[in-house]
């Protein structure tokens, strides 16, 4: 048994997947829609590679060429992602449409995944058909890769540096393990490419941001941070999305003054995000006793100290300011009460950001307000015309905030400032202007002249009509509809295929998204059962398992993100937990002396029980250990079922790629629709329930076929 090549396959596959997903996050805003497409494309091409490899005749030369192609495809893909704005005709930091981003993901993953899929079959042939052992050692390699990435590489290296190190190591392993002493030219070529990747990391980033001057870059645990300078202005970007620009007093003033003019004598203020963008400077103009500024990424503070103007940097060290490095939501759970809570974060365009705009978070904020305290946040809007897509987005946030607070007021403008409390002063420009004068606060933009236009009764009436029109859906932790509305709003600017797709999906009833696919799946099972051939009852659960495991992974990862925050670093640990379980399950299936069809039935029944546990667990906001144990159990069942079903199938027909390919095709379907469509529209809980129903139908299907098999 050639264990080392199979271990290398799993190690390189998972590390490449994590690095490519992180790089896509850094250049495509970390949007879960893109993640879903990327993950689906990864499964699709790997599955196709496995199926097509059945026609490839095994030779040592093909073996080496397939490994070399996968290793060299990683730096090529990373370079293509970084230069994507030139290939897609975008400006620096400009978002692309879903269609070009999806095509980009589809093209790049094919370069890596087709050879990876072929290599599973080639490794099986190299080990004299011992598929279960290849699967086991591949899973062990993936586990090792995830742990190495989480504990060593991600905290210390950039994506390109980690890829160069891993690619160089994989090339040496290929030279020593797969073709000892041969193919030196391939080794030298690979090492030269990896060295060039390491050296050109920062210069290529500077090229991406031209004509702006990139002065510093760092991959933190929360995202890729890049500081730009344009004349006298500096701008910080995280994953290509703007964090702040300085000086930008207009943004800072509107984030702070509309809230503080409602509570000018507030003594304690909690600021989540925005402090380094000028919010602290504005808050310090009020007689506030204590300002708690929460910023999840400490690198943002370090960047800002080095590059901000002296006046802004001093605000971070003010005696009344306490800077706290923590997830804002997690900090608030254990915090004291505040007179004012201000959230100054980007729009809820991702599931990670959406958790600060849900009903659960609004209620949490309300619990930590003093009597009469005020809560405020702002989102992007439009000066005059509110499109249907924007209306749906704003109305959802307004209805959600109204459910948590007695009174809600919204300031019109290109940015809408939401204010919520038990009681609020009316948004009258004359009263607010008098308040500014009495407090003797110096402002440039929130001044009487601006307020008379922005708070005109006509503009407020038009906005109120848009916010209250229709039947908006509440944005909740387990029903994150606002991040789907953000995707609809994002796609509307391109007016292409993605705009029509998202608009159609937004109008669909839940039954079309869940009931119809479930009924179609049941009809497929009935049709397959009528045919009644033995391979059908062995291969069908593999496809169902592939879909189930990937959907459960996505559900668990998003539930973890809602509870604990950023995924940028933790992704590798969660993947490792799943792959460790997969290894243990594959080991159990390999060591089972006699495989019987009843084992598959038992494993399918255990899948149903595990899904029931997931249904109960996601509602309870469990700790990190729960997600690790769940993913390990999920991987264990998936690995055991894969090995058992394939052992029974291979007793009848020698086709090493079909079982692996069908498992990945099921994963492809699950990844494609889950994170990008079903979760934001229907929610985590209903999706888990329907997944439980689908697996229950599969269990009945297997019981039906027991006698025939």
> Which amino acids are annotated catalytic?
344
- Contact status, residue 195 vs residue 542, Cβ threshold 8 Å: no
Residues with Cβ within 8 Å of residue 633, at least 6 apart in sequence? 581, 610
Residues forming beta bridges with residue 410, ordered by sequence position: 418
CB atoms within 10 A of CB 9: 25
Q: For residue 289, give the DSSP letter.
A: S
Quick one: 512 exposed, middle or buried, by C-beta within 10 A (0-12, 13-18, 19+)?
Answer: exposed
Mapped onto helix, strand or coil, the DSSP state of residue 483 is helix
Calpha distance 526→506 (Å, rounded): 31
Round the CA-based radius of gyration of the chain to a whole number and report it. 27
User: How many Cα atoms are found within 13 Å in the side-chain-facing hemisphere of 272?
Assistant: 25
Alpha-helical segments (H) within 211-309: 249-260, 279-283, 298-307
CB atoms within 10 A of CB 367: 12
How distant, in Å, are the alpha carbons of 151, 255, 256, 518 from that of 368? 35, 20, 19, 43
Quick one: 624 exposed, middle or buried, by C-beta within 10 A (0-12, 13-18, 19+)?
Answer: middle
Residues forming beta bridges with residue 343, ordered by sequence position: 272, 377
What is the b/e burial string over 96-105, where b = at least 16 CB atoms within 10 angstroms of the residue's CB? bbbebbbebb
Q: Where are the beta strands (DSSP E) in 325-367?
A: 338-343
CB atoms within 10 A of CB 172: 13
Per-residue tokens: 617: 């667990």
Calpha distance 645→634 (Å, rounded): 17
Per-residue tokens: 349: 């365009």
Calpha distance 648→491 (Å, rounded): 47
- Contact status, residue 695 vs residue 611, Cβ threshold 8 Å: yes
Calpha distance 412→423 (Å, rounded): 19
Block residue for tokens 């100290």: 305
Calpha distance 274→272 (Å, rounded): 7
Residues with Cβ within 8 Å of residue 503, at least 6 apart in sequence? 389, 488, 491, 492
DSSP calls for 616-677 = HHGGG---HHHHHHHHHHHHHHHHHHHHHHHHHHHTT---TTHHHHHHHHHHHHHHHHIIII
DSSP calls for 37-103 = HHHHHHHHHHHHHHHHGGGSPP-HHHHHHHHHHHHHHHHHHHHHHHTHHHHHT--TTPPPPHHHHHH
Calpha distance 126→264 (Å, rounded): 75
Per-residue tokens: 406: 């007695």
Name which of 368, 353, 378 is nearest 562 in CA terms.
Answer: 353
Residues with Cβ within 8 Å of residue 418, at least 6 apart in sequence? 376, 377, 378, 379, 397, 398, 401, 408, 409, 410
Per-residue tokens: 146: 């995830």
């Amino acid at each position: 048994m050639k264990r080392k090549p199979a271990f290398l396959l799993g190690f390189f596959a998972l590390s490449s997947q994590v690095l490519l997903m992180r790089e896509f996050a850094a250049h495509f805003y970390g949007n879960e829609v893109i993640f879903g497409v990327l993950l689906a494309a990864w499964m699709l091409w790997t599955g196709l590679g496995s199926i097509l490899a059945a026609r490839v005749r095994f030779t040592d030369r093909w073996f080496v060429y397939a490994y070399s192609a996968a290793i060299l495809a990683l730096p090529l893909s990373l370079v293509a992602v970084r230069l994507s704005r030139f290939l897609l005709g975008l400006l620096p930091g400009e978002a692309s449409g879903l269609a070009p981003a999806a095509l980009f993901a589809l093209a790049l993953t094919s370069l890596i995944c087709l050879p990876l899929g072929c290599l599973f079959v080639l490794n099986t042939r190299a080990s004299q058909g011992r598929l279960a052992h290849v699967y086991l050692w591949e899973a062990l390699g993936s586990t090792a890769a995830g742990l190495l990435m989480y504990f060593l590489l991600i905290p210390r290296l950039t994506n390109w540096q980690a890829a160069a190190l891993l690619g160089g190591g994989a090339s040496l392993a290929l030279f020593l393990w797969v073709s000892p002493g041969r193919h030196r030219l391939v080794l030298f070529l690979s090492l030269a490419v990896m060295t060039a990747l390491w050296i050109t990391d920062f210069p290529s980033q500077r090229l991406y941001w031209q004509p702006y001057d990139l002065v510093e870059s760092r991959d933190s645990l929360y995202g890729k941070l890049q500081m730009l300078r344009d004349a006298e202005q500096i701008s910080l970007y995280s994953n290509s999305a703007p964090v702040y620009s300085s000086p930008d007093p207009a943004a800072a003033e509107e984030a702070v003054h509309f809230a503080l003019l409602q509570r000018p004598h507030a003594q304690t203020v909690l600021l989540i995000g925005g402090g380094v963008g000028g919010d602290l400077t504005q808050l310090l103009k009020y007689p506030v006793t204590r300002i708690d500024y929460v910023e999840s990424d400490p690198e943002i503070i370090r960047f800002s100290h080095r590059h901000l103007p002296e006046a802004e940097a001093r605000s971070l060290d003010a005696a009344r300011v306490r800077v706290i490095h923590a997830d804002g939501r997690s900090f608030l759970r254990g915090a004291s009460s505040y007179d004012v809570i201000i959230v100054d974060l980007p729009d809820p365009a991702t599931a990670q950001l959406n958790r600060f705009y849900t009903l659960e978070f609004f209620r949490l904020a309300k619990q930590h307000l003093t009597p009469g305290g005020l809560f405020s946040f702002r989102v992007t809007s439009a000066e005059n015309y509110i499109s249907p897509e924007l209306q749906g987005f704003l109305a959802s946030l307004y209805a959600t905030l109204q459910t948590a607070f007695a009174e809600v007021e919204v300031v019109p403008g290109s940015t809408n400032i939401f204010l919520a409390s038990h009681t609020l002063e009316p948004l009258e420009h004359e009263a607010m202007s008098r308040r500014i004068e009495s407090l003797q606060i110096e402002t440039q933009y929130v001044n009487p002249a601006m307020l008379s236009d922005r708070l005109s009764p006509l503009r407020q009436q038009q906005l109120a009509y848009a916010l209250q029109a229709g039947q908006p859906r509440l944005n909740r932790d387990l029903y994150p509809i606002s991040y789907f509305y953000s995707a609809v709003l994002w796609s509307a600017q391109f007016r292409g295929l993605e705009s029509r797709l998202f608009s159609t999906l937004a109008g669909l009833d839940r039954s079309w998204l869940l009931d119809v696919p479930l009924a179609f799946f049941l009809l497929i099972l009935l049709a397959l059962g009528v045919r009644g051939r033995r391979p059908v009852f062995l291969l069908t659960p593999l496809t169902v398992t592939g879909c189930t495991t990937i959907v459960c992974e996505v559900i668990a990862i998003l539930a973890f993100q809602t509870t604990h925050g950023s995924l940028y670093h933790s992704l590798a640990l969660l993947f490792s937990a799943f792959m460790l379980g997969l290894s243990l399950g594959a080991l159990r299936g390999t060591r089972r002396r006699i495989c019987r069809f009843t084992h598959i039935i038992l494993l399918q029944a255990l899948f149903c029980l595990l899904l029931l546990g997931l249904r109960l667990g996601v509602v309870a906001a469990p700790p990190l250990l729960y997600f690790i144990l769940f993913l390990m159990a999920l991987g264990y069942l998936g690995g055991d079922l894969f090995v058992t079903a394939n052992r029974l199938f291979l007793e009848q027909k020698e086709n090493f790629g079909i079982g692996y390919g069908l498992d990945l095709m099921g994963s492809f379907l699950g990844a494609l629709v889950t994170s990008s469509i079903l979760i934001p529209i229907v929610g985590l809980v209903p999706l888990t329930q329907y997944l439980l129903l689908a697996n229950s139908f599969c269990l009945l299907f297997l019981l039906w076929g027991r006698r025939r098999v």
